[in-house]
Structure 1
């Protein structure tokens, strides 16, 4: 090798070495940026969480103080009414004592009566006393009528009505999580060109129903020919998106999200939702819920047959979450990392199982409020 050739070769190596060093530094710098971003997100999340906690605590403080004031007013009125009744009862007790004393005197007088004249004089006196006693009793009974002492029941009814209105208002605003998730609702329609020939897709593209009859449909490249799957016409590659699927009356179903690259032909297990790396799903079968991705099952601790399932995918967070939509109960979340392709909603209504699973699987489209936040 000539000196010139050796020099050129050495120069090339040095250039390659310098290039690799620069690439290494670029990757290290990116790694540093990623770590900083991770720390920033953790701190920001902590600040948001603490702020939310404080707001809930402030709400609780306001409610507790309002409850204290309301109960204090009611207790004050109760004490006043009880005190008034105590005073009236005391007057009645005093009159009873006076009457008892008069009865005792009359009894003694009757025992000591020796002559008719004295007796007549006694009865004359007694009748006079009786009239006074009767008048006194009537006057007292009029003044101590229990119905004259009342709680402010009209005000109490108003308080109950106001608290009920407050409850209805709070219920209409909670769970806040539900409002947040629904703000990501995106309209989708099923692509009949991807549906297995034993699936009937509604004209609106919002439902899939199993039929035992194999429909004569074009054997399109995108059509599933073994698994009873259908995916949405729309795909999403950024932002956050949420859908709700009605599974009322069904005993078997699968639903989730998938890349468009999911295998569609043959008996390959990857054609099933969640069995390959291209899709994520939750399955309900034989009374049990299972979350699937990459062929790995995650048994879920739920036994209730849910009517509506929510599916949330977040591209910024790399998240796929499944929820029981009525109460927003989390079922399972996949931290998928960075998605490598766009995502489609994917459904499998399952076989009819001798009529026990004949109901359609339905997408409950909501007005589109897709957010990129």
Structure 2
């Protein structure tokens, strides 16, 4: 009996193992499928939230844009109405003055006609009375009401007595000019807004490539073909012609301007401190990794770079100054042509994960065509 039971157990054991293995395999497979379904649902939910956020952002931007357009339209209406009122006032005065002159000219014409008539009559008399002298004819014509009428007319129709109120007109012109100066001082709005975020910055010579000369004021970088005798440290770029700012930022809104006039090649932007400094890899170049954002200018063409992806920009203007705006609350990096605040490109980062430093590359001199320095315009220069 024991032997029989043992044999039965021995017979059932492999079956039990196979059954258990099958059971657990099915359970694990079911769990894995459920996990994938949950992940699929989570991704779908995330996509739905992102789509809703995109719709919300576009709606908010449209509302802000419409409000701004309405304000500018209202300003246009106010200015146009003020212009019409001012010109109507001048026109009314002009019409009144011209009308007065027309009346005086008409009176002169009437008297002129009377004089011509009297002269013609006098000439007839002189022909009839050939014995009269010229003096006698003049005395005859000059007698009576006509002489007094002419004298009165000449007295009241002096052109110097009829004139515009030039003092008032000059005051109007002065007020109009003052209004123009005020509007220009307030616009463009973008320039006033960005310059309110202007942040002082200096370059860190310890990060500069040995072929870059950093000015004593630490606001200017110039390429030289001579390798400078500088200390070798971990922070210094040894291949790419870069230099970073001494300061770094991790909050707030900041704006910088860089003078690039006279140059045919440059790169500038923002970077995390973790940007590679050594070697010939493109990772050391601005915008070639996820941790830096830049705009490059070369031979008349602008290109925005980030994460190794290039964005050619359809802009032909050769700007003298480039503005860089960074908003940590919005996770935004924006580049502009400061000359007329032309938007070049904007990167929406979302959330910055580290401090940011300003980064400049003046480029090689390209046989003298790119020998000009690249210069940071701090407060005293940027507001000019």
Is the pair's TM-score, using the shorter chain for normalization, greater than 0.5? Answer: yes
SS at match of 1:190: coil
- Name the CA distance, whole Å, in 2 between partners of 1:24 and 1:356: 57
Counterpart of 2:278 in structure 1 is 265
Superposed displacement of residue 259, structure 1: 3.1
Superposed displacement of residue 69, structure 1: 1.1
- Name the CA distance, whole Å, in 2 between partners of 1:236 and 1:209: 25
Say which of 28, 52, 59 aligns to 2:68.
Answer: 52
Counterpart of 2:213 in structure 1 is 200
Superposed displacement of residue 84, structure 1: 0.5
**Structure 2: which 5+ residue stretches go unaligned?**
1-16
Contact 1:291 1:300 in 2 (8 A): no
Determine which structure has greater relative contact order: mean sequence separation of CA pairs < 8 Å that are 6+ residues apart, divided by chain length: 1
Counterpart of 2:141 in structure 1 is 129
Of structures 1 and 2, the larger Rg is shown by 2
- Name the CA distance, whole Å, in 1 between partners of 2:230 and 2:135: 117
Total equivalences in the alignment: 362
**Structure 1: which 5+ residue stretches go unaligned?**
368-373
Superposed displacement of residue 103, structure 1: 1.1
- Name the CA distance, whole Å, in 2 between partners of 1:280 and 1:168: 37
SS at match of 1:77: helix
- Name the CA distance, whole Å, in 2 between partners of 1:66 and 1:3: 93
SS at match of 2:106: helix
Say which of 84, 102, 106 aligns to 2:100.
Answer: 84
CA gap 1:249/1:123 in 2 versus in 1, 3 angstroms = closer
- Name the CA distance, whole Å, in 2 between partners of 1:213 and 1:146: 79
- Name the CA distance, whole Å, in 2 between partners of 1:112 and 1:128: 14
SS at match of 1:298: strand
Superposed displacement of residue 321, structure 1: 2.5
Counterpart of 1:111 in structure 2 is 127
CA gap 1:328/1:123 in 2 versus in 1, 3 angstroms = closer
Counterpart of 1:151 in structure 2 is 164
- Name the CA distance, whole Å, in 1 between partners of 2:331 and 2:369: 36
Contact 2:328 2:351 in 1 (8 A): yes
SS at match of 1:209: strand
CA gap 1:124/1:299 in 2 versus in 1, 3 angstroms = closer
Counterpart of 2:55 in structure 1 is 39
- Name the CA distance, whole Å, in 2 between partners of 1:135 and 1:81: 26
- When structure 1 is superposed on structure 2, of 145-154 and 209-218 the one drifting more is 209-218
Query: Is 2:85 the counterpart of 1:72?
Result: no
- When structure 1 is superposed on structure 2, of 64-73 and 233-242 the one drifting more is 233-242
TM-score w.r.t. the length of structure 2 is: 0.82
Counterpart of 2:14 in structure 1 is none
- Name the CA distance, whole Å, in 1 between partners of 2:138 and 2:195: 87
Kindly report which structure 2 residues correspond to 1:1-373, keeping only aligned pairs within 5 A, or say none.
1=17, 21-113=37-129, 116=131, 119=132, 124=136, 126-132=138-144, 133-293=146-306, 294=308, 296=310, 298=312, 300-304=314-318, 306-315=319-328, 317-335=330-348, 339=352, 341-353=354-366, 355-366=368-379
Superposed displacement of residue 317, structure 1: 4.8
Q: For residues 70-108 of structure 1, what are the alpha-carbon distances to aligned partners after superposition, in whole Å with 9 as ceiling and x for unaligned?
A: 111111111111111111111111111111111111111
Give the aligned CA root-mean-square deviation in angstroms: 3.0
